[in-house]
Structure 1
């Protein structure tokens, strides 16, 4: 048989002895400095009432001169490992979901070195505000295939680097933070990742982007080179809002349907923390009571890939999320990208 006659689909062997995924520990870290709406109003023409009524945000954290995204990622990871009772050298993989790395070549290896995770391979994953959910689903496949046993997933962003702080339409929205989750293979068939769906639509990507600088500089003769760097965040707020309130309920409905899950069986709704009106609209669509909708948006703003693990860690540590609780989660943002996952919290063994 020649190569031309081979069916590539038929060559893919089905996986056997696949493992389930257990959520074992979480952690988070935020910058020290909190900037309130009233403080921000001293720089741009805005005020607390205007921001709260449109977003639900009251304050945001911004990385200071003696802090860094790497430091926040490390602290969040250490706290997740501590909760699980794991040593860093037991990790097989580190996935760092970020769109704002300290090093454009990748920050995950530096995180690996900081933790002393000498047995782990580490790489960055970029999917903006969907990053943590995409990273978690990616990591789960390594476990399910049997290739790896313990994995650290970190969602961290420092969007304060790329915000135009004189644009009141966008600067009020964003903050800096890091959140982490450690997962491991189950030995009894239990699976805390009950289902997921992921989507992308690059045709709509221009409504929320952080584009590269297009300036070119003379190189030699008639040759030129492009100047490195990026423009500030560019966003069409109305289009992003319409995208979120349409696509998030739709993908959650598809996930619940495909897993045979009723909205009444969900203990918590954990969405990307972008706008309180989006959270309220999704909860209303599925008739989920407000007290079951997790939100800390008021205190941190939109921290991109960090929002879901940051909120998860807060709710686990204050006792709201208990072992066995079912969580419907969705991340959405630039790309455009969005996804949903149905999770259970096992907690430390």
Structure 2
């Protein structure tokens, strides 16, 4: 059962209040003027100030419900699909529910986390439950605050990130509608686990053992070159298998919405994967890498800008810590 008769009926986005330009990042990182923009292609990103991830997620969720012409009472399940958590317990989805003023609703709330691919994984997994009739409508929210865990000594990776939230509402299609999920796949190669990690804060290095002399273990650690080498080796054949299973070619898609990671890596992989400039949804310059929120943000912007319409084929594609590869082909 790869084809699922479901559709996205609403999208929403939220960006936090603090607007940070590339010039400001140059000063924060202590690098020459123009360095951040050249390295990252991120002209503007947004950092959370006093906002919590649950509050950002709630605002994005409310925007998605509004665009769908729905209210929270129309929702049967709330899923937070994020790579960062507001706190270890409870799940962020429960905190989003509370931040929406629905803390007594009883609507089930759960998290799905595979870092940057969390939204794609959630869309894939939850769609089966919607298609099977377990839920009528599901609200999927990705809310990320990367800025609180950055390692400012790793200038190239720090230059990439921004904060923000995005959400979608999914429901079953009505008779005669063409919207559906065609095919999805995910592969994980644990040999690349050390390329992108935060070692501290879990059971291996609990927060109680934190020492200022070992703060690097509690901040984001990324080997961008290692990720790119591994992804560039694995992604072309992964995409070939996904497309073959869907009986499609890359040219069949109106739009490809990738994870908005490294701009240089995205350009190189786009050429390698034969994704044209017209097909590529690229929002990195005014958002940065917002982890799992980057793909649903790209989807929201694609809908808002009129780059996709009902009946268009769309491909979501990306990599995440693990190292994982993920893709999902659907008819919007």
Q: What is the CA–CA distance in structure 1 between the aligned matches of 2:258 and 2:40, rounded to whole Å?
A: 14
Structure-to-structure mapping, 1:66-85, within 5 angstroms: 67-85=51-69
TM-score by length of 2: 0.89
Matching residue within 294, 307, 312 for 1:320: 307
Change (3 A) 1:196 1:215: closer
Counterparts of 1:243-254 in structure 2, within 5 Å, are 243-254=230-241
Which runs of 5 or more residues in structure 2 are unaligned?
none
Q: Distance in 1 between matches of 2:113 and 2:206?
A: 26
For residues 242 and 270 of structure 1, the distance between their equivalents in structure 2, rounded to whole angstroms, comes to 21
Alpha-carbon deviations, 1:12-50, whole Å to 9, x = none?
Answer: xxx8xx961111111010112221222111122324543
CA distance in 1, matches of 2:206, 2:302: 48
Indicate if the aligned counterparts of 1:33 and 1:63 stay in contact, CA closer than 8 A: yes
Flag the 1:164–1:216 CA change in 2: closer, same or farther, 3 A: closer
The number of residues matched between the two structures is 321
How far apart, CA to CA, are the structure 2 residues paired with 1:178 and 1:243?
Answer: 28
Which of 70, 76, 79 lines up with 1:95 in the alignment?
Answer: 79
CA contact (8 A) 1:44 1:167 kept: no
SS in structure 2 opposite 1:249? helix
> 1:208 Cα deviation (Å)?
0.6
Q: Which has the larger radius of gyration?
A: 1
After superposition, give the CA deviation of every residue in 1:211-253 in whole Å (9 maximum; x if it has no partner): 1156689xxxxxxx75599610011111012233333333222
3-state SS in 2 of match to 1:313: helix
* 2:322 alignment counterpart: 335
Which 4+ residue blocks in structure 1 deviate beyond 6 angstroms? 214-217
Counterparts of 1:321 and 1:282, CA distance in 2? 22
Tell me, yes or no, if structure 1 residue 263 matches structure 2 residue 266: no
Return the TM-score normalized by structure 1.
0.85
- 1:44 paired with 2:26, answer no
Cα deviations by residue, 1:293-338 (Å, 9 ceiling, x for unpaired) = 1011011111101000111111211212211111111131212222
Report the counterpart of residue 63 of structure 1 in structure 2.
Answer: 48
Contact 2:185 2:328 in 1 (8 A): yes
Counterpart in 2 of 1:207?
195
